[in-house]
Structure 1
Amino acid sequence: MSTTTSHTPPESEGQSDGTAPGAGVRPARLIQNEATTEIPVHLLFRDGPDPVRVPLGPAVVGRRQDTGERPRPRPRPGRPVPVRRRPLPETDPELAERPARVLPGAAGLFAGACGLTGALVTTWWAGLLPPPAGRAFGLPAYSGTGLGLAHWAAYAGSGLLGAAGFGGLARGRTGRAWVLGLFGRYRGTVRRTGLLWVNPLLPRRRVDVRLRHWRSESMPAVDPDGMALRVVVLVVWRVRDTARALLGIDDHETYLRECVEAALARVPVEPAGGARGGTTAAGDALTRLVAEETAPVGVEVFSVQPVRVEYAPEVAAAVHRRRIAALDARQRASMLGSVVDSVEDTVTRLTTRGLVELDDYDRKVLVRDLTVAFCSGRGEPV
């Protein structure tokens, strides 16, 4: 920060303040910063009864000399710094489901039939086909010269054609899909149904794309008060992206189970009938959290709902006693309120109708006796 000090002659200062020149007035010294803020130095140390007002301009924060970056503001004491959860990393952007190239099943049947026909014709050409078989297929009698190089080549071509035609036939089912790959590279997904022809050189991995549900085992959780629970959840899900579900992760079903267990560790689950939303609020929070965790791996989660919530065995007895005590306290409070209302109504009616004349002592005795009588009639100790 640059600091400049200017000396003003006494004559000019005296003229500006309306005093006579040479009256022994101090020279004004000014300090200027980068924001053109001027503070008279003599006003800061002035011994006078009048208050001194120092105009201040906006503070200027300079850049760091070593890095060229602005310094980060320090968090105010008493306010927690928000912590943002890092999102899950996306899988390979090129790894996304796309349809594979397949042909109708009729093309595979035609290619297989052509291969068989070629092998039959080659056998007849070599003279190895018996005359009855030739007449059955409508071939004229021909005496060949035996197998040669041309015959073997024809056999090889016919065999390859027949094997490719019949070997690539596949039946697509509703709710099932095939993930195709070659030499470790994703080639596409087949979701079509019916008789299809798929390249037999491409390895196939079958995946279930139907809407599925999974009922978990008893998993650990906590309630809003921190008490240990054992929760069983029902998860409704399906595979949305077959490429990411099968190739982007080792096992998507195991990953789904672990995500559910991790969500239960972070979301408090309240038993049914609670005042904070019960299992409905916990199910909504679990569904949202698990859906965010499984979306990058191609799994779509529709619902995660607790179906059975129980306290852990080590705290079940204590919680049961606490509930019984709370119910008993509410019942006693309700009973006492009704007894007090009945006693008040009885005493009021007796005094307003003039049936009895009571002083303070008699009123207290009557109230005590009526209270004992009403409590005894309700079967509760006083």
Structure 2
Amino acid sequence: MSTSTTTSHTPEPEELPEGTPLATGTTTRPPRLIQNEVTTEIPVHLLFRDEPGPVSVPLKPDAPLKPAVVGRRQGTGEQPRLGHRAGPFRGRPVPRIDPELVERPARVLPGAAGVFAGVGGIAGCLATSWWAGVLPPLAVEALRLPAATGAGLGPEQWAAYAGAGALGLAGFGGLARGRTGRAFVLGLFGRYQGTVRRTGLLWVNPMLRRRRADVRLRHWRSEAIPAADANGVALRVAVLVVWRVRDTARALLGVEEHERYLRECVEAALARVPVEPPGGTRGATDAAGEALTRMVAADTAPVGLEVFSVQPVRVEYDPEVAAAMHRRRIAALDAQQRSVMLSSVVDSVEDTVTRLTVRGLVELDDHERGLLVRDLTVAFCSGRGEPA
């Protein structure tokens, strides 16, 4: 016997149109794509918010730039993002020098120590000669020494000669004269040992290599360097640079030629900073000088140079465009002069016609007024030496 089971089919919520009442008296919702999902409403403007987080600019130019992380806000559903650090050297290559290559004082002795060592070496050589019996009789009498036994030159005498000679050479060979505004950069087998800025007579280890450095305030006036104004017109600019060596170790050992490096930095800055053309305002020239100073100082600081001022002292057009720019400038000045002269003539004619009319000296209709204005204009322009 077969038993048939009757089941009632209830449509799924997604099969019913939206808003259809169910048996429980509720209404349907839009179908869920994921079962058991829990969603929260997020404002649209938060999804596209792009605010950089708090970052700190490194104090040292050669410090690595690390991206800053923007934290998420509670309840907004935002995820942490990486922000870009905006520093003063972003987008520009920063010269990197060995961090251990920093100027430090070298160990030296007063010059008296070298003098005493040299004199001691000479005295040792004389004593050894007297001991070996090879000292001349005149020298023996002059020094009032007793008669030598004449032991001869043996191994002991040669060893004494070597020691005394080495002492004398080390004493006199290490003497150096320190002058104001000069410094010695010392190195031993290619390794930096220190800088001597002391003055007077000094004793320096004679095995160290000495390189002189000028640490005075110096100025350099360049030749004509190619540049351009704000409109891209080619110029030739001569600049005056006031600078000095601040860190002798980096200036002499960190770069091949620090003076040449300074010149190259000045040329590179002139290629990036627009210069006021001849006849420009003083304020624009001062602004260009300040921009050049900041740029060159930032480029040369990593190699131990301190730049105080970079100022244009002579600005002229490039020879290829000088004639054309000169004609344009003359035409602009002529047009300006004509405009000023015409304004003056018009004011004078207006004042003359107004006075004649107001005082009742003449009665003019429109035609006569036009003729009078024309005659007065011709007369005033002729009196100023300009054609009507």
Range of TM-score over shorter length: 0.7 to 0.9
The aligned amino acid for 1:265 is A
List structure 1 segments (4+ residues) > 4 angstroms apart after TM superposition.
20-26, 30-35, 55-58, 69-73
Aligned partner of 2:336 in structure 1 is 330
2:250 pairs, out of 234, 238, 244, with 244
Residue 232 of structure 2 aligns to a residue whose secondary structure is coil
CA deviation profile, 1:50-103 (whole Å, cap 9, x unmatched): xxxxx8695499xxxxxxx97889xxxxxxxx9932341321010011111110
The aligned amino acid for 2:330 is I
Q: What is the alpha-carbon root mean square deviation over aligned residues?
A: 3.1
Deviation, 1:376, is 2.0
Q: Is the Cα contact below 8 Å between 1:270 and 1:277 reproduced in 2?
A: no
Q: Is the Cα contact below 8 Å between 2:277 and 2:317 reproduced in 1?
A: no
Deviation, 1:132, is 3.6
Percent identical across equivalent pairs? 71
Residue 199 and residue 380 in structure 1: after superposition, are their counterparts in 2 closer, same or farther (change >3 A)? Answer: same
Higher mean C-alpha displacement, 242-251 vs 85-94 = 85-94
Could you tell me the TM-score, scaled by structure 2's length? 0.79
Deviation, 1:361, is 2.3
1:137 pairs, out of 140, 143, 166, with 143
Aligned partner of 1:104 in structure 2 is 110
Number of equivalent positions: 340
The aligned amino acid for 2:324 is A
Higher mean C-alpha displacement, 186-195 vs 357-366 = 357-366
CA deviation profile, 1:242-290 (whole Å, cap 9, x unmatched): 1111110111111111111111111111135424734322211111111
2:239 pairs, out of 219, 233, 237, with 233
Aligned partner of 2:360 in structure 1 is 354
Once residues 134 and 277 of structure 1 are traced to their aligned partners in structure 2, the CA distance between those partners, rounded to angstroms, is 82
Deviation, 1:29, is 2.1
Once residues 346 and 279 of structure 2 are traced to their aligned partners in structure 1, the CA distance between those partners, rounded to angstroms, is 30
Aligned partner of 1:190 in structure 2 is 196
Q: Is the Cα contact below 8 Å between 1:108 and 1:164 reproduced in 2?
A: yes
Matched, 1:37 2:40: yes
Q: Is the Cα contact below 8 Å between 1:35 and 1:57 reproduced in 2?
A: no
> How do 1:166-205 residues align onto structure 2 when only pairs under 5 Å count?
166-205=172-211
Aligned partner of 2:299 in structure 1 is 293
Once residues 344 and 183 of structure 2 are traced to their aligned partners in structure 1, the CA distance between those partners, rounded to angstroms, is 69
Once residues 137 and 194 of structure 1 are traced to their aligned partners in structure 2, the CA distance between those partners, rounded to angstroms, is 33
Deviation, 1:377, is 2.0
Matched, 1:379 2:385: yes
Aligned partner of 2:55 in structure 1 is none
Residue 23 and residue 199 in structure 1: after superposition, are their counterparts in 2 closer, same or farther (change >3 A)? Answer: closer
- Structure 2: gaps of 5 or more residues: 1-11, 50-78
Residue 198 and residue 21 in structure 1: after superposition, are their counterparts in 2 closer, same or farther (change >3 A)? Answer: closer
Aligned partner of 2:275 in structure 1 is 269
Once residues 360 and 25 of structure 1 are traced to their aligned partners in structure 2, the CA distance between those partners, rounded to angstroms, is 93
- Structure 1: gaps of 5 or more residues: 1-5, 15-19, 40-54, 62-68, 74-81
Once residues 282 and 180 of structure 2 are traced to their aligned partners in structure 1, the CA distance between those partners, rounded to angstroms, is 43
Once residues 144 and 282 of structure 1 are traced to their aligned partners in structure 2, the CA distance between those partners, rounded to angstroms, is 83
Aligned partner of 2:96 in structure 1 is 90
> How do 1:115-134 residues align onto structure 2 when only pairs under 5 Å count?
115-134=121-140
Q: Is the Cα contact below 8 Å between 2:278 and 2:316 reproduced in 1?
A: no
Higher mean C-alpha displacement, 90-99 vs 279-288 = 279-288
1:311 pairs, out of 281, 303, 317, with 317
Residue 277 of structure 1 aligns to a residue whose secondary structure is helix
Once residues 235 and 332 of structure 1 are traced to their aligned partners in structure 2, the CA distance between those partners, rounded to angstroms, is 42
Q: Is the Cα contact below 8 Å between 1:91 and 1:297 reproduced in 2?
A: yes
Higher mean C-alpha displacement, 270-279 vs 99-108 = 270-279
